[in-house]
Structure 1
Amino acid sequence: MSSTRMPLRAWLWSALSGLIGGASFLAAAELVALAVARQASPVLAVGSFIVDVVPQPLKEFAIATFGEYDKIVLLIGIGVAVAVAAAISGVLQYVRPPLGVVAFAIAGILATAATVTRAGATVLSALPPVVGTLVGSIVLMLVVNRLRRWLSPRRKDAPDTAGAEAKTGAAQDVAALDRRGFFRISAIAGASAVVVGVGARALSAATSSLGAIREELTLPAPRTTVTVPEGAEFDIDGLSPLITPNADFYRVDTALTVPSVDPSTWRLVIDGMVDERVELTFDDLIGMGVDEYAVTLTCVSNEVGGGLVGNAVWLGVPIRDVLARAGVHDGADMVLSRSVDGYTASTPLASLTDDGLDAIFAVGMNGEPLPVEHGFPVRMVVPGLYGYVSATKWVTELKVTTFAEDEAYWTPRGYSAEAPIKFSSRIDTPRTGTPVSAGTVPIAGMAWAQTVGIERVEVSIDDGDWQQATVSTPINDDTWVQWYLEWEAEPGTHYVAVRAVNADGELQTEERAPIAPNGSSGWQRVLVTVQ
């Protein structure tokens, strides 16, 4: 059938046929994934593949633009792309069969490849995309064939012996029958796909939810607790709290869907350049004794003045104690940590074994078990290093090795293998775009220099002299501090800049640096409007 003579309704109905076939593809795949391999959903597998291969500039753009919603935006984008591709496949199947089925087969092959190459894939991981491809192709052929019978200009089934009027009546009757058949099969297939697909995905999420397990989990009392000193927190509107609530703590990771890890089945393996391979259960780990630690975490994707930084009180076990059980060989200089979803991070061995650094396996956060999205049941927290080389969530393995022998997830993607945090400061209030009234206005914000500490914070207004701000009493050298300066603000627009000096007497660098390869730098400047 020539596409140049296709009426508009043929384009529309064939595109709808493709959407129904595509929905059937995904619904069947989700149903099979629910039964045999929950991590083998084609959409999630393709999305995870995109996360892995996306160029570093696009990754930074996504985080800067969408923040913690970047994965939701990615899934929406994949959904739109799948819908468009399915609609085109429907048109192709109508115009030039079996091109639509061929397009479905290609999509199935790509989805299968993405699925079987994911971390933790099993021999059954290929079944969901394969079955989905077969079901989707069959539905596509059935719906498009019914559509073609309805819209075909030549009615071979009309009686030849009847008169012209009888032929016309018979053809109309058959066309009406085929039209009803098309709508009937489309409605049944479409509704079934929606019910089965949504139901399978919802059931998978419900049955794999760790909410109840997490709520019932009782962590042991800490042997030592964090004491917040007098003067550690200021009461200023717009200023970030000293301890970041769990619900507000930033989340940046490569997991398209949050892994579900049951503490009763979780295992931590220590191997590589060690005297003895060690395997610990969750009970083994917390049985070593837990303590509280206040540590500020910073993401390498944090722009100057950005919000990808947070402070929490963690409950955990020193990583050095676990490594001591295995016995680290001379010559090792790196630990490659691995998440249950296959993500890896390269952490300098010295940062994990130094008695002066509180690098821990964290099991609790701000007085409760780790939130699922923040690594439940166990994650790493290492002071002084950006998260991508240290803060592995859902951690399940440590491999003692060398930087020369192994590399982690982000290293071949343009980031440094070692990434100490650059100390920095930011302005929380007043903000650009939010005018303030003339008079006494507090300029306030946060500053951090993990493992070293902040000595002072200075503020400059309209490129004037640097004025020393009041700095809060730190909990310890691994946490951020608050600061503020009272400003007699006059009407107009003003530039406000901030910089910090760490406890070693080093001045925060003014030089601007991008996020890659090892974190941004520079003084933050904001434009403030005073009314």
Structure 2
Amino acid sequence: MPHVTTETRGTTIPPRDRRRTVVGTVVGLLSVGASLGAAELASALARTASPVVSVGDAVVDNTPPALMELAISLFGTADKVVLVSGIVIVLLGVGAVLGVVALRRPAAGYAGPAVLAAAGLAAVLLRRADDPGAAVPVLVGAAAGASALALLLRSARGRLRPAPAEDGPGDASGPGAPDVPDVPATPRTTQTTQADEGAQAAENAPGEPVARGATHTENTPDGQDTPATARPQDAADPRPGPARGPGRRGFVLTATGVLAASGTAGALGRWLPPVLGDAGGPSSLALPAAAEPLAPLPSGVDLGVPGLTPFSTPSADFYRIDTALTIPRVDAERWTLRVHGLVDRPFEIDMDELLAAELVEADITLTCVSNQVGGDLAGNTRWLGFPLADLLRRAGVQSDADQILSTSQDGWTCGTPTEVVMDGRDALLAVGMGGEALSPVHGFPARMVVPGLYGFVSATKWVTDIKLTRFADEQAYWAQRGWGVRAPIKTMSRVDVPAPLDRVDSGEVVLAGVAWAQHRGVEAVEFRVDDGEWETAELAKVPGIDTWVQWVAETAVDPGRHSVEVRATDTTGHTQPSERVDPVPDGATGWHRVRFTAE
């Protein structure tokens, strides 16, 4: 009886699904990149917000206060970068998925740009800024993304199309053939006799040609034996492999072109705003001298201690805290400020009229309510501007208007107590700081500066609107989120020298820092080392009660680890409390402690 053997063989299939995923991901990423690049350029030319900024503003404006506070605590001043980066990453991720889907279902892929455009238009409507022009970059970006997708899909099909078959005209893999998805090969069972094995061995012997006429039987799916013609060993799989010719080259060239165009558009979008806005920017503004210039700062305001914060903060080092994802570029030649609401004589003022008025100077320290104990969100400089009280007198403020609701160019609102501005302090509509025009970062062309109040209730940058109203009738941006509405700055002090975990020589050690209590002034600063007795520090001179003051002391310490703690007392007799309180809702409190090592 002839010996019968059974062998099961499967056909090896090229990994086309993996290739399809990679190509689809590239298609999706490049399509999103084209959309973002075109939108960035369109926003620059239209001088409006890009879709990413519109979405980011909408997210910020509609985020629950608790989540916003968590983001601020986690990321600090980097929160804007994190938010914008997150939006871009999400868009790229969605694009990668849509690109893979589009290779099989183009209609679903084209729905992606439409849905993203709808989301962008919704963000334009939801963001606080009244800027309907921001819809233009959204539409331009969607059109560019859809066009790039169509171009890349056409090229990708050529990349994925199988190479022309060599087995005859009946093969369905030439140009224009459908992109048929891969399916698992059906295993086939081959039965051969011993005689067949011998014949097959002879056929496959080295140097011998394969017998073209030899046959064997194969079991077909329906169980019937059918004859099959033997094939060479290297022809086990008649299916064609991946394309190696113009399809791949064409896709690479198309993808490279889309990438280059997107990058160029995005770069132009970033480069153009400063160029287009320079005509009415800070360099175009010639600040007049104050009507009655202040005397130079008195000698002794700076103690000259290495590592100690300087009395005057350079504009480049001044802290920046705001909700703007991108810095508004305001043309000073077109800028106007509207004063209205509960007033007898509403009016508008432009930059020419403002600069022609009698401007004044004031030395004022600003502090952000987000500043933690020992934090650096405070800065001091000499400001130039027009008295806000005079501006309000011109309008004729009505007696029941207890709130000044100011609005920035980007739609952010701030509520300031009217009586504070009218009580005689140097509250300004400022146009200059540190002897120069305001920079865009710090509110160009005009901003509010009110000494004694945290910035979120007093220091509106890029201000374009002042409305006299009532706290009971309208709430400003942060008041809507549960923060304070009056928020006077709390008495605070800080250790700058030695720095945290610093190593110093044992013996006499210099201690130094700054303290502030704007519009009250600092009466005394005390320090203690290693929880010992409180001692009085020496204070530097100051030009007035609206600035911070430097303090310095010397103490003897032995080698080892030590700590220094500081507290301030203002001119009302109030000493800053030891209890640590978070900045929410109206400013932090607590004593600042620094640990250092003496050697």
**Fold-level match, TM-score > 0.5?**
yes
Task: Single out whichever of 378-387 and 144-153 deviates more from structure 2.
Answer: 144-153
Of the three residues 110, 114, 118, the one matched with 1:109 is: 118
In structure 2, the partner of 1:327 is 396
In structure 1, the partner of 2:527 is 459
Cα distance, 1:288 vs structure 2: 2.2
Secondary structure (helix, strand or coil) at the match of 1:305 reads: coil
For residue 313 of structure 1, what is the amino acid of its counterpart?
A: R
In structure 1, the partner of 2:42 is 32
CA spacing shift, 1:65–1:205, aligned 2, 3 Å: farther
In structure 2, the partner of 1:338 is 407
Cα distance, 1:101 vs structure 2: 2.5
- The alignment's C-alpha RMSD in Å is 2.5
Q: For 1:52-451, list aligned pairs within 5 A.
A: 52-64=61-73, 66-119=75-128, 121-152=130-161, 162=169, 176-209=245-278, 213-222=281-290, 223-355=292-424, 357-451=425-519
Task: Single out whichever of 81-90 and 19-28 deviates more from structure 2.
Answer: 81-90
Cα distance, 1:217 vs structure 2: 2.2
Q: Using the alignment, how far apart are the partners of 1:275 and 1:164 within structure 2?
A: 88
* Superposed CA offset, 1:194-218 (max 9, x none): 22232233223421246x8422422
For residue 22 of structure 1, what is the amino acid of its counterpart?
A: V
For residue 18 of structure 2, what is the amino acid of its counterpart?
A: L
Q: Using the alignment, how far apart are the partners of 2:326 and 2:173 within structure 1?
A: 61
For residue 437 of structure 1, what is the amino acid of its counterpart?
A: D
* Superposed CA offset, 1:334-367 (max 9, x none): 0001111111100000011112x11111111011
Q: Using the alignment, how far apart are the partners of 2:34 and 2:259 within structure 1?
A: 7
Of the three residues 507, 528, 531, the one matched with 2:596 is: 528
Secondary structure (helix, strand or coil) at the match of 2:134 reads: coil
Cα distance, 1:295 vs structure 2: 0.6
Task: Single out whichever of 368-377 and 182-191 deviates more from structure 2.
Answer: 182-191
* Superposed CA offset, 1:397-442 (max 9, x none): 1100000011111111221122111110011111222211212111
Cα distance, 1:102 vs structure 2: 2.4
CA spacing shift, 1:496–1:58, aligned 2, 3 Å: farther
Aligned length: 522
Q: Using the alignment, how far apart are the partners of 1:219 and 1:28 within structure 2?
A: 38
Verify: 1:41 aligned to 2:50, yes or no: yes
* Superposed CA offset, 1:20-55 (max 9, x none): 1101112222333344x3223111211222332344
For residue 112 of structure 1, what is the amino acid of its counterpart?
A: L
Which ranges in structure 1 are unaligned for 5 or more consecutive residues? none
2:58/2:123 contact within 8 Å kept: yes
CA spacing shift, 1:225–1:171, aligned 2, 3 Å: same
Q: Using the alignment, how far apart are the partners of 2:65 and 2:528 within structure 1?
A: 34
Q: Using the alignment, how far apart are the partners of 2:81 and 2:259 within structure 1?
A: 24
Q: Using the alignment, how far apart are the partners of 1:273 and 1:444 within structure 2?
A: 48
Q: Using the alignment, how far apart are the partners of 1:218 and 1:224 within structure 2?
A: 16
Cα distance, 1:134 vs structure 2: 2.6
1:60/1:301 contact within 8 Å kept: no
1:297/1:310 contact within 8 Å kept: yes
Task: Single out whichever of 336-345 and 144-153 deviates more from structure 2.
Answer: 144-153
Q: Using the alignment, how far apart are the partners of 1:238 and 1:206 within structure 2?
A: 38
Q: Using the alignment, how far apart are the partners of 2:63 and 2:173 within structure 1?
A: 63
The structure with more radius of gyration: 2
Secondary structure (helix, strand or coil) at the match of 1:512 reads: coil
Q: Using the alignment, how far apart are the partners of 1:324 and 1:129 within structure 2?
A: 43
Cα distance, 1:474 vs structure 2: 2.2
Q: Using the alignment, how far apart are the partners of 2:442 and 2:60 within structure 1?
A: 18
CA spacing shift, 1:127–1:371, aligned 2, 3 Å: closer
CA spacing shift, 1:364–1:26, aligned 2, 3 Å: same
Identity within the alignment, %: 42
Q: Using the alignment, how far apart are the partners of 1:298 and 1:123 within structure 2?
A: 34
Cα distance, 1:121 vs structure 2: 4.5
Cα distance, 1:133 vs structure 2: 1.4
CA spacing shift, 1:23–1:508, aligned 2, 3 Å: same
2:342/2:468 contact within 8 Å kept: yes
For residue 554 of structure 2, what is the amino acid of its counterpart?
A: E
2:367/2:377 contact within 8 Å kept: yes
With the length of structure 2 as denominator, give the TM-score of the two structures.
0.82
Q: Using the alignment, how far apart are the partners of 2:528 and 2:106 within structure 1?
A: 70
CA spacing shift, 1:316–1:123, aligned 2, 3 Å: closer
Which ranges in structure 2 are unaligned for 5 or more consecutive residues? 1-14, 175-236
Task: Single out whichever of 114-123 and 469-478 deviates more from structure 2.
Answer: 114-123
Cα distance, 1:231 vs structure 2: 2.7
In structure 2, the partner of 1:490 is 558
